[in-house]
Amino acid sequence: MLLGTGCQQRTLERIGLSDSTKARPEQEIWNSTIVLSQNGVTTSKIHAGHIARYKSKTETFLDSGVIVDFYDKLGQHTSTLTSDSAMVQGDQNNLYAYGNVVVVSDSGQVLRTEAIRWDAVTEKIISDTFVTITTALDTLYGIGLVSDGELQNWQIEKPTGKTYRELNLERERNRQTDATKTEVPEAAPPDS
């Protein structure tokens, strides 16, 4: 009995709740999947070993191996997220994932971090923590990231890392020179 109480206390602490009668979940399910949709189109499927909804909160807490499949506006699968735990925010269906977060896009890009937020309205992945993005040609690190769900268009704050992309310095110099040139109209030939 003491072992069970200790495990429950650690779970409650991990999701930010104290062990009191007010913190008891209104609903609890195990080994289940939640499907979120917008205008009749599936936006994500969330599977977790444990899901708890609290009466006094509008959030749903998930732990014990969270797996989220994301879909685009046409209902096509785009990426899969795994994390230790997560929270789905009430009305807006924003997802907050914590602990060993890994997002793998269908195109092969991989994001690793400790915490992210999925904004369901803008369909953006947002992180303010240390991130690693791995693509076929890059391994980049930084603090903070904003990306689309496919990990195709992303921006890392304070980036560092390495790339295997070919850099043509001559082409870059020509492009910079072309951008700084100002066009001067040709002078008309003198009248003879």
Question: What is the tens place of the pLDDT at every residue in 146-191?
Answer: 998 888 888 888 888 776 767 666 776 776 666 555 454 455 555 6
In the CATH hierarchy, which top-level class contains the domain 12-175? mainly beta
Buried b (16+ CB within 10 A) or exposed e, 53-80: bbeebebbbbbeebbbbbbbeeeeebbe
Residue 12 clears pLDDT 70, i.e. is over it: no
| Interatomic CA distance for residues 102 and 12, integer angstroms | 23
Domain limits, the chain: 12-175
Answer whether 0.85 is exceeded by the pTM.
no
Q: List pLDDT tens digits, range 82-139.
A: 999 999 887 777 899 999 999 999 999 999 999 999 888 888 999 999 999 998 888 8
